[in-house]
Structures are given as structure tokens and as C-alpha cells.
């Protein structure tokens, strides 16, 4: 990997520290977390869930989980955090294609490393492995934990984030790893 490509990638990646999570802003949350803050939370939660899975006899590649957690919102360095409210305005696979192209473009300066990272990103997007489903669960759990913290601080109208939680988690097929955590968060 060329030094110039590394610097180009890292310079773009650092933008994630300054880009707020738009969904919180639209709901009146002050000092909303950044995309980088979210990635940090997802990585920690994903690591803990992977360790839980391994302790329960599942075979989970924790390094792969951590790499996916760091990569899962990489396109947002180019697109920003697009809130769910805007997504219906993109017909068909338009948004998915834009997300894919943005991810490709961000990773391009890394050459072969970028191609390897893109493979992991695709695996996450397709939820084609246990590792990918763990990262998706961590993504949703981080959202719920953050919503709970904002609610404790007085934020209102965040119930929508909880409304579909059970349905979203059920699709992942890893209830044994998250059911107790989700139940505790709801209380």
C-alpha cells in the first residue's frame, strides 16, 4: 500500500469525526454523536457480542467482526449520515448503489487492502455470515443505547427507534446473544 494512498484514505476517514448522526439532529438532540462516535460504540458492542458467542460455543472470528464494525458506515465519509426519512425518496436500488460506489471510492486509494475491506463490507451488507449479523445487531444496539442516553438527558420523540427493535433483531437469528440485553434496555 502506497503511503500517499494511506494518507488520502485517512484524511477522508477523519471526516467521520466531524459528521453528526443526522437522525438525532432531526429529532432535536443537541450535541448529537458523530458517525465516528457511532463506529466506536458499534465496534465495542460487536466485540462483546462476538466474545459472548464464542463463550457459548459458536465459532466467531472476532477480528473479522471488528473490521466489519469499522467498515460498516464507511460510505458516510462521502454521503454523510442519511436519515431514514430521506430513504423513501430514492427509487429502487439507487441508494444502495450510491452507498456501494461511495464505499468503493473511499477504499480505492488502499489498492489491494481496499479490495479486501470491500469484500468484508459486502459480507456485512448481505448479512451472509454470523459475523455480519453480529455487527448489524451491534449497530442497532448502539442506536438503542444512544437513544436511551439522550432520553435520560431529556430528549423526546425517540420512541420510533424502539418500535421496530424486536422485528429488526429477529431477522438476524441471533436472539440467544442479545435477548437479555434488549430486555434490560427496555426496562
The predicted-structure confidence for 68-77, as pLDDT tens digits, reads as follows 999 999 999 9
Mean pLDDT of 135-150: 96
* Listed residue (95, 84, 76) closest to 161, CA to CA: 84
Tell me how far apart the 2 most distant CA atoms of the chain are, in Å.
Answer: 50
CATH for 16: 1.10.3210.10
Q: Inform me whether the pLDDT recorded for 84 exceeds 90.
A: no
Q: What is the number of other CB atoms lying within 10 angstroms of the CB of residue 53?
A: 20
State how far the Cα of 88 lies from the Cα of 85, in Å rounded to an integer.
7
State how far the Cα of 159 lies from the Cα of 34, in Å rounded to an integer.
21
Residue 160: per-residue pLDDT: 87
The band of 25, judged by pLDDT with boundaries at 50, 70 and 90, is: very high
Question: What's the domain range around 152?
Answer: 3-186
Q: What angle do CA 152, 24, 145 make, to 5 degrees?
A: 45
Residue 174: per-residue pLDDT: 93
**Number of structural domains found in the chain:** 1
Q: Mean pLDDT for the chain?
A: 94
Per cent of the chain over pLDDT 90 is 84
Q: Inform me whether the pLDDT recorded for 129 exceeds 80.
A: yes
The tens digit of pLDDT for each residue in 144-170 reads: 999 999 999 999 888 888 888 888 999
Q: Which residues are CB-neighbours of 35 under 8 A, at least 6 positions away?
A: 16, 17, 19, 20, 21, 73, 76, 77, 81
Q: Inform me whether the pLDDT recorded for 1 exceeds 70.
A: no
Mean pLDDT of 116-124: 98
Q: Please give the grid coordinates belonging to residue 132.
A: 455480519
The tens digit of pLDDT for each residue in 32-79 reads: 999 999 999 999 999 999 999 999 999 999 999 999 999 999 999 999
Amino acid at each position: 500500500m502506497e503511503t500517499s494512498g494511506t494518507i488520502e484514505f485517512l484524511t477522508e476517514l477523519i471526516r467521520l469525526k466531524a459528521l453528526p448522526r443526522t437522525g438525532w439532529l432531526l429529532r432535536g438532540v443537541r450535541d448529537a454523536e458523530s458517525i465516528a462516535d457511532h463506529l466506536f460504540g458499534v465496534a465495542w458492542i460487536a466485540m462483546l457480542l462476538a466474545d459472548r458467542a464464542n463463550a457459548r460455543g459458536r465459532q466467531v472470528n472476532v477480528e473479522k467482526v471488528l473490521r466489519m464494525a469499522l467498515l460498516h458506515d464507511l460510505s458516510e465519509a462521502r454521503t454523510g449520515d442519511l436519515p431514514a426519512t430521506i430513504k423513501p425518496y430514492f427509487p429502487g436500488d439507487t441508494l444502495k448503489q450510491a452507498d456501494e460506489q461511495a464505499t468503493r471510492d473511499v477504499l480505492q486509494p488502499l489498492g489491494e487492502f481496499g479490495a479486501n475491506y470491500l469484500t468484508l463490507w459486502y459480507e456485512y451488507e448481505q448479512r451472509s455470515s454470523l459475523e455480519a449479523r453480529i455487527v448489524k445487531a451491534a449497530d442497532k444496539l448502539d442506536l438503542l443505547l444512544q437513544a436511551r442516553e439522550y432520553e435520560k438527558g431529556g430528549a423526546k420523540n425517540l420512541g420510533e427507534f424502539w418500535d421496530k427493535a424486536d422485528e429488526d433483531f429477529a431477522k438476524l437469528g441471533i436472539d440467544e446473544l442479545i435477548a437479555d440485553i434488549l430486555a434490560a434496555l427496555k426496562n
